[in-house]
Each structure stands twice: as structure tokens, then as C-alpha cells.
Structure 1
Amino acid sequence: MKRIKILVALTIVLLLAPLSASADSQAASRLAQLLKPINNYEANFEQFILDGSGNRLQRTEGKMWLSRPGRFRWEVNAPYRQIVVSDGEKVYLYDPDLEQVSIQPLDTRVTRTPALLLSGSADALTENYRVSRAQQGTAETFTLVPKTSDTLFESLKLTFDGETFDALQMTDSTGQQTKISFDEVTLNPSLEESRFTFEIPDGVDVIRQG
């Protein structure tokens, strides 16, 4: 479950990267157009994890801050507090209840996971995913399907209401879905550098990966 949370947070960060105009389809070009103005992003979120039959496994809520390239802070407030922070080089997952911090490198090679989408490149987008677009009213939904099978998800859906990125849905190979909706969105707010710095609390267990 922790791995899913890290990947989801990274996914959002990497989709906030500039995408070039050389996208090879109208859908990818439109997605690039919507993502290009986003440098910083702040929002509240609500996340649901559903099994393959649509039964709810978990609900969480919290707040997130993003700044490209590769920096984010993802705070889960309920039902259990967790903090995920990336400073652009390392990712820190802090679980206060377990008094544990996991540290791993921010892997910029993860184009086959949701992670790289939010701060990766347009070339990575079109080389690694098939992109399609559907519109209903003011809502536009983009579906990204990996071109290779060695991925941690089967599809990723991004929904914009007008020009605002407000929902994400990820489905893995077992049919499990992670759905995230955003509200109280602030586009390109001024964010302090300290927001993306994590100070390891005294007395906690530290697990270093990679």
C-alpha cells in the first residue's frame, strides 16, 4: 500500500512537466496544452482504493503540494497520518504511527510507471503510452495505456474540468483501482523551499532503499 501511495504522488508530480509540441496525436497534444502552464500545484485530495469488483478497500484524505521538476509533498491526514516528500533527488515516506522513515532515490527512469508522467518529458509520454481523449461537457478525460507490459499499472486516467486538473484514476493488472479527486485547487502558488525538505525526526527507524 505504501508503494502505491508513493507511485501515485510521483505520478502527479511527473504529469506537471512541460510536454513538447511534437506529440504524435491530437489527444497527446491537447494533454500537453493543459499541462504546460502548470509549474506549481496545491490542492486537497480524497483517495479511494477499490478492488477488482469495485469494493472499497481504503479511503484517505489530505493535502498535496507540487513543484516541477520532481518535487512534491503529499500529506495523508485521515484515517492515518502519513507524509511523502520528494526534494527532487530523494523520496521520504514518514509513518508517524510506526515511527519509521523510508528513503529511496527519485528514479527518473520510471517511464513505465505513473511516476515519471508528472515531471518527465513529452517524448517519454508518446514513446511509452497510447493516449486517448474523451469529453463530456466541460470535463476532458485522457487515458494513458502503457505500450509495454512490464508496468505497475494497466491504465491511467487524468480528468480536467475546464483547464483545471481535478482527478486521477489508476488501474493495475489485478483490476484494483486508485481514484483521486482534488478540490480547493490553487494553480502556480508561491511555495516555500522548506515545503519540499524533510527533516528526519529524532528516534525514528530509518530504512534506506537503493
Structure 2
Amino acid sequence: MGKLNLKNLPFTWVAVLAFALPTHAQDIHQLARAVDEHYNHLRSLQADFTEIYRGAGAERVESGTLWLKKPRKMRWEYRSPKEKLFVSDGKLVWFYLPGERQARKTQLKKLEDLRSPLAFLLGKTKLENELRGLSKVVDQAPMGTGNTLLRGVPQAMGERVSEVQLEITPSHQIVRILLTEVDGATTEFRFAGLKENMSLSDGRFEFTPPPGVETVEGELGP
């Protein structure tokens, strides 16, 4: 079959083709704008999460519940395979393993943890600013039917993370985030049972070390 020559088509057909086949860039821009609109109108979010780390020939799978609240508040309660807590009040971040004699904390703005990109979901979200070269993933299938995969290079954490993939539902919810580090290791977050705009008290995002637990400032745990 020969190539389609637009010069040989009536003007009306050229117009129909131009309208019916929007450019790849337009598709991505419209989808990114829709995701931005969705998350910029959220006040809070709850989800069950699964975190999968793959690197150096090993795999680690953990799960629990996540809460997010504007502005930039996060609480990750890990339940499997062991309990641990990662919580931020929007300024400070704490990491605590129940039973340990130490709780670690740092400032959110200094955090280089792979969980931190989720904070932007409840900030003033703009995907095309957060991820350079945003494009559709066409060589992989999404987990969910009808979902779309996007990939881009993160503006923040660029020295550690080489690519971020987002899986987006037709209702513009992000249900999976895959971060690929420069050394090839990957961390994947999967989200289910999403509940939006719940009433969450600020107290859920505060942490006071239990009696006898020492506070250590600096890098957080994995």
C-alpha cells in the first residue's frame, strides 16, 4: 500500500483527519492537565499501598496504609512484613521502628527519600513541571485495563532517580508509581482502595517518641 498523500484528499477529509488524530504531545498535555486538576482539588487521600524494591539481585515487598493531607503531610504505616512508621507534619519527617530505642527525624525540605515525591500530589501539582520530557510508555502494558502509563525525568532527585513512571486511571487517579534509580534499582508503589477528601486530623501527622526513645537527627531509614 502506498503512502497516504494529503494533497490527493478533499479539504474536508484533511480537516476530519486533523481533528480525529490529535498529536501525541497534545494527548500528553491534556492528560497531564487532567491529572493536575484532579489532585489540585484534593484535600486529603487514604490508600492501601504495596512497596516493591528490586536491586542488587534482591526483592523486598512491604505493605500498609498511606494518608496524605494538604499541605504536604504524609503518614505511612507499614504493617507487613514488619511494622514501621514514616510520618511528616509538612515540616519535619520522622522514621520509627516500634521497639527500637531510637527515632530518626529530618526536615522535609532536606529529605531525599523515595517516598517524598508523593508529597507533590497534595501540593500545587503540575506534572509537566515535575517530570521533564513527559511521554507515554508504549513498550509496557499498564496493570489496569484502560489505564495509561506516563514516564519522565524528575526535576527533583535527579542525581538519584533517572526516571519516574506513573500509571493513571481513566478517572485521572495515580495508582502506581515506579522510580528507577541511576544504578538500575527500582522502587514501585502500588495503590488500592483510594479514598479522597476524608476528614483527617492534623494529629495523625504528628509524632512524639515513646518514653525512653532517643531522637536522632539526620538520614532516615529505608
Which residue in 1 is equivalent to 2:17? none
Question: For residues 141-165 of structure 1, what are the alpha-carbon distances to aligned partners after superposition, in whole Å with 9 as ceiling and x for unaligned?
Answer: 2212136884321111121222232
Which residue in 1 is equivalent to 2:151? 143
Does structure 1 retain, via aligned residues, the 8 Å contact 2:72–2:120? Answer: no
Mind listing any 5+ residue stretches in structure 2 that lack a counterpart?
1-27
Which residue in 1 is equivalent to 2:21? none
Q: Is 1:36 aligned to residue 40 of structure 2? A: yes
TM-score, with normalisation over the residues of structure 1? 0.74
Cα deviation for residue 101 of structure 1 reads 0.7
Cα deviation for residue 125 of structure 1 reads 5.0
TM-score, with normalisation over the residues of structure 2? 0.70
Which residue in 1 is equivalent to 2:129? 126
Q: How many residues align?
A: 184
Q: In terms of mean alpha carbon deviation, does 131-140 or 65-74 score higher?
A: 131-140
Which residue in 2 is equivalent to 1:114? 117
Q: Is 1:83 aligned to residue 96 of structure 2? A: no
Which residue in 1 is equivalent to 2:202? 193
Change (3 A) 1:201 1:125: farther
The letter of the residue matching 1:117 is: F
User: How do residues 96-111 of structure 1 correspond to structure 2 at under 5 angstroms?
Assistant: 96-107=98-109
Does structure 2 retain, via aligned residues, the 8 Å contact 1:109–1:116? Answer: no
Change (3 A) 1:95 1:198: same
Q: Tell me the C-alpha RMSD between the 2 structures.
A: 3.1
* Structure (1 or 2) with the greater helix fraction: 2
Q: Which runs of structure 1 show a deviation greater than 6 angstroms over 4 or more consecutive aligned residues?
A: none
Cα deviation for residue 189 of structure 1 reads 1.0
Mind listing any 5+ residue stretches in structure 1 that lack a counterpart?
1-23
Question: For residues 9-60 of structure 1, what are the alpha-carbon distances to aligned partners after superposition, in whole Å with 9 as ceiling and x for unaligned?
Answer: xxxxxxxxxxxxxxx94453243134223221101111110126xx542110
Query: Using the alignment, how far apart are the partners of 1:29 and 1:173 within structure 2?
Result: 28
Query: Using the alignment, how far apart are the partners of 1:100 and 1:125 within structure 2?
Result: 39
